[in-house]
């Protein structure tokens, strides 16, 4: 049997199906790999006995493109793909990107702007009363009213604009199982209102009695303090152990968010990655999909991140509680890679959002949730933080032992401040000796104390000590290996004096970055809430926002002061 899900009626006929139970619509090409969210949801549904079809990158100019598989028995599931479609299309300077790595040949323009909304509205045109569920990163981070950088305005919940019945936020395996079972049992989609990790619309009179009432949309549009307060409440209720139901009023209606779904257990996560993925693009594609270059021979070992960087949306999407796969699961997948005819002996990555996070930050976090109003690593590491790389080291050693493996790289981000807290002090040596090749990319992001504080990053002294220790370890190993630090310009809280501090640091360390990332205000981050309001939602203090073109350009130029084109700025 074809290992891929049906993409047309011929495929349905070859399987003897009248129709799929669910049709997945995605803005990415159809790649049946665990790094593609649509494929994961499809395989999870299949494991529950449901029939799944896929419509990838449909023509958004006609609803006919949503009819290629006919009418599904239970519903449509819509995602923009692995990225927010606006981030996929535009740079931080709002310039159109020329490539889309999730499309055959890297071709741009195969998905619309605001893809979730466009695809969902097409579904409504094609099949008016069909249950419609949206999910994925774009839906997840736009689930409530949010600042839209590309229009420089506040937008309402994507659930309203898309006219969908339900929104699944975060990692959706548990939620989609419950939703599918309810629909299959005959429950109307309008009655599915108790699934953790979902958002729905109701009449104002139907708001659950114990729900936290957020500021209403009209107030959010005119009062920055109201938006900051709303963001703080949402942030503090993004924990599966302590999060409460929240309602955002819109006139006579409300968008209601249920508490987050609990993270998958290790056994559940292992089971997801053991599902029968075809592990590649659909054979109908004649051109390669650029994203496959890195993910094809990489292993996802964990989810979640307790780093809590202000510019990152992980706390709102995957959550702060880290969960990970077992050694057996990762070794089994590595053996599958070795059997691939294209495998050359190199595993490109063993990681996740943060490579060296394998477990919750402390014993309490894994059983009672994250501490509200606190970060685990900054401004100082919490006394309860458990920094331990022993399990990760053991996994890497087992992978290196496998016949057919030449080298195992780590290319996901390494949290150096967490590494420095490990009293055994053995991971850095292991990393330098076996898992990098010439250089290690790290993300101090800035060196100014004021900016680092706003970012939620460790103090410069921590990075300086890491640089010293990195050089010492490589000297002992007899290796010439370099650090490539990443920096962000124009972040909330950054003034020209901070950019000058950064420029002086770069001069003194004789490092000029080839690339500098301008701060990109994307939905779902603490820093974006600051950008829109000029307020730090967590403490109510005012924050400087370098939003003017001249100041942004100057801050960026100072980080690359040696370039001739920057001398006129």
| Residue 44: Cβ-neighbour burial (10 angstroms; 0-12, 13-18, 19+) | buried
Mean pLDDT throughout 226-250?
A: 97
In the three-class reduction of DSSP (H, G, I as helix; E, B as strand; rest coil), residue 133 is classed as strand
In the three-class reduction of DSSP (H, G, I as helix; E, B as strand; rest coil), residue 122 is classed as helix
Q: Give yes or no for residue 374 having a pLDDT over 70.
A: yes
301, two tokens: 């070992």
User: Comparing C-alpha atoms, which of 516, 506, 499 is closest to residue 551?
Assistant: 499
Q: Do the domains spanning 9-192 and 438-569 agree at the CATH topology level? A: no
In the three-class reduction of DSSP (H, G, I as helix; E, B as strand; rest coil), residue 508 is classed as helix
Of the two residues 563 and 147, the one the predictor is more confident about is 147
Q: Give yes or no for residue 565 having a pLDDT over 80.
A: no
As separate numbers, helices (DSSP H) first and strands (DSSP E) second, the chain gives 22, 22
Q: What angle do CA 139, 143, 144 make, to 5 degrees?
A: 150
| Residue 109: Cβ-neighbour burial (10 angstroms; 0-12, 13-18, 19+) | exposed
| Residue 280: Cβ-neighbour burial (10 angstroms; 0-12, 13-18, 19+) | middle
> What whole-number distance in Å separates Cα of residue 542 and Cα of residue 225?
10
Residue for token digits 């990790």? 197
Q: Give yes or no for residue 303 having a pLDDT over 80.
A: yes
Q: Which DSSP category does 564 fall into?
A: G
Q: How far is CA 519 from CA 315, 319, 426, 530, 533, in A?
A: 18, 22, 34, 12, 16
User: Which CATH architecture does the domain made up of 297-435 adopt?
Assistant: 2-Layer Sandwich (3.30)
> What whole-number distance in Å separates Cα of residue 168 and Cα of residue 44?
15
The model's confidence at residue 549, banded by pLDDT at 50, 70 and 90, is: confident
> What whole-number distance in Å separates Cα of residue 364 and Cα of residue 165?
36
Q: What is the pLDDT of residue 173?
A: 98
> What whole-number distance in Å separates Cα of residue 450 and Cα of residue 285?
49
| First vs last C-alpha separation in the chain | 62
> What whole-number distance in Å separates Cα of residue 268 and Cα of residue 559?
45
283-322 per-residue burial string, b: 16 or more CB within 10 A, e: under 16? eebeeebbbbeebbbbbbbbbbbbbbbbbbbbbbbbbbbb
Q: What is the pLDDT of residues 253-290, one digit of tens each?
A: 999 999 999 999 999 999 999 999 999 999 999 999 99
Q: What is the pLDDT of residue 567?
A: 66
Q: Which DSSP category does 52 fall into?
A: E
> What whole-number distance in Å separates Cα of residue 195 and Cα of residue 316?
17
Q: Give yes or no for residue 511 having a pLDDT over 90.
A: no
Residue for token digits 């630090």? 485
The answer to whether the Cα torsion of 14, 25, 300, 241 is positive or negative is negative
**Range 9-192 classified under CATH 3.40.50.2300:** yes
The model's confidence at residue 237, banded by pLDDT at 50, 70 and 90, is: very high
Q: What average pLDDT does the structure give for the chain?
A: 95
Q: Give yes or no for residue 563 having a pLDDT over 80.
A: no
Ramachandran bin of 108, using left for φ above 0, alpha for ψ from -120 to 50, beta for the remaining angles: beta
Mean pLDDT throughout 299-305?
A: 96
The model's confidence at residue 1, banded by pLDDT at 50, 70 and 90, is: low
Of the two residues 113 and 559, the one the predictor is more confident about is 113
DSSP assignment string, 200-246? EEEEGGGS-TT-EEPPPHHHHHH-HHHHHHHHHHHHHT--TTT---E
The answer to whether the Cα torsion of 344, 346, 350, 353 is positive or negative is negative
The model's confidence at residue 422, banded by pLDDT at 50, 70 and 90, is: very high
What are the structural domain ranges in the chain?
9-192, 297-435, 438-569
In the three-class reduction of DSSP (H, G, I as helix; E, B as strand; rest coil), residue 282 is classed as coil
> What is the CATH code of the structural domain delimited by 438-569?
3.30.750.200
| Residue 63: Cβ-neighbour burial (10 angstroms; 0-12, 13-18, 19+) | middle
User: Comparing C-alpha atoms, which of 176, 187, 188 is closest to residue 47?
Assistant: 176
List all residues 6 or more positions away from 293 whose beta carbon is below 8 Å from its beta carbon: none
Contact yes or no for 325/380 (Cβ under 8 A): no
Reported pTM: 0.95
Q: What is the pLDDT of residues 166-207, one digit of tens each?
A: 999 999 999 999 999 999 999 999 999 999 999 999 999 999
> What whole-number distance in Å separates Cα of residue 540 and Cα of residue 523?
20
Q: What is the pLDDT of residue 2?
A: 67
Contact yes or no for 158/133 (Cβ under 8 A): no
Contact yes or no for 537/530 (Cβ under 8 A): yes
Q: What is the pLDDT of residues 330-354, one digit of tens each?
A: 999 999 999 999 999 999 999 999 9
Q: What is the pLDDT of residues 528-548, one digit of tens each?
A: 999 999 999 999 999 999 988
User: Comparing C-alpha atoms, which of 530, 349, 555, 378 is closest to residue 441?
Assistant: 349
Strand ranges, E, within 41-152: 52-56, 75-79, 132-134, 146-148
Q: Give yes or no for residue 561 having a pLDDT over 80.
A: no
Q: What is the pLDDT of residue 569?
A: 65
User: Comparing C-alpha atoms, which of 351, 332, 352, 334 is closest to residue 343?
Assistant: 334
Q: What is the pLDDT of residue 266?
A: 97
């Amino acid at each position: 049997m074809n290992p891929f899900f049906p993409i047309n009626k011929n495929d349905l006929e070859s399987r003897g199906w009248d129709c799929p139970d669910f049709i997945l619509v995605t803005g990415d090409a159809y790649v049946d790999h665990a790094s593609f969210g649509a494929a994961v949801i499809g395989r999870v549904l299949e494991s529950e006995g449901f029939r799944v079809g896929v419509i990838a990158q449909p023509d958004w100019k006609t609803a006919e493109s949503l009819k290629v598989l006919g009418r599904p028995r239970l519903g449509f599931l819509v995602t923009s793909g692995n990225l927010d479609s606006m981030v996929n299309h535009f740079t931080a300077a709002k310039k159109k990107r020329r490539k889309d790595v999730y499309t055959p040949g890297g071709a741009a323009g195969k998905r619309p702007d605001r893809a979730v909304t466009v695809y969902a509205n097409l579904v409504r045109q094609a099949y008016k009363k069909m249950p419609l569920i949206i999910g994925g990163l774009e839906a997840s981070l736009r689930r409530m009213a949010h600042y839209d950088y590309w229009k420089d305005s506040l937008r309402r919940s994507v659930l309203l604009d898309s006219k969908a019945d339900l929104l699944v936020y975060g990692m959706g395996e548990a939620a989609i199982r419950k939703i599918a079972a309810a629909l299959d049992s005959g429950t109307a989609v309008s009655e599915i209102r108790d699934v953790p990790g979902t958002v729905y619309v109701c009449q104002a009179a139907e708001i659950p009695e114990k729900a936290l009432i957020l500021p209403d949309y009209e107030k959010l549009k005119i009062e920055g303090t109201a938006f900051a307060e709303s963001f703080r409440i949402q942030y503090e209720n993004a924990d599966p152990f302590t999060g409460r139901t929240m309602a955002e009023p819109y006139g006579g209606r409300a968008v209601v968010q249920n508490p987050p779904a609990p993270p998958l257990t290790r056994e559940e996560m292992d089971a997801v990655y053991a599902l029968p993925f075809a592990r590649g693009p659909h054979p109908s594609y004649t051109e390669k999909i650029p994203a496959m270059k890195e993910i094809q021979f990489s292993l996802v070992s964990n989810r979640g991140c307790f780093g809590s960087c202000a510019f990152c949306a992980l706390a709102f999407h995957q959550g702060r509680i880290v969960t990970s796969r077992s050694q057996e699961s990762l070794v089994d997948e590595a053996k599958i890679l070795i059997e691939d005819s294209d495998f050359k002996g190199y595993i490109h990555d063993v990681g996740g959002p943060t490579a060296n996070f394998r477990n919750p930050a402390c014993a309490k976090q894994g059983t009672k949730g994250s501490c509200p109003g606190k970060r685990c690593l900054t401004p100082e590491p919490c006394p309860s933080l458990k920094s331990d790389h022993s399990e990760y080291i053991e996994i890497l050693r087992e992978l290196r032992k496998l016949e057919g493996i030449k080298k195992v790289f780590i290319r996901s981000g390494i949290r150096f401040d967490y590494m420095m807290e490990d009293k055994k002090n053995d991971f850095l040596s292991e990393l330098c000796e076996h898992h990098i090749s010439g250089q290690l990319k790290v993300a101090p992001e800035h060196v100014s104390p004021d900016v680092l504080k706003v970012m939620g990053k460790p103090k410069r002294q921590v990075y300086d000590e890491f640089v010293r220790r990195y050089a010492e370890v490589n000297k002992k190993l007899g290796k010439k290996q370099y650090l490539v630090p990443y920096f962000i310009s124009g972040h909330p809280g950054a003034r020209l004096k901070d950019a000058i501090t950064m420029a002086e640091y770069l001069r003194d360390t004789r490092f000029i970055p080839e690339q500098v990332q301008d701060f990109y205000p994307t939905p779902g981050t603490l820093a974006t809430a600051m950008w829109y309001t000029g307020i730090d939602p967590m403490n109510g203090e005012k924050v400087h926002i370098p939003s003017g073109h001249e100041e942004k350009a100057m801050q960026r130029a100072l980080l690359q002061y040696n370039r001739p084109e920057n001398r006129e700025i």
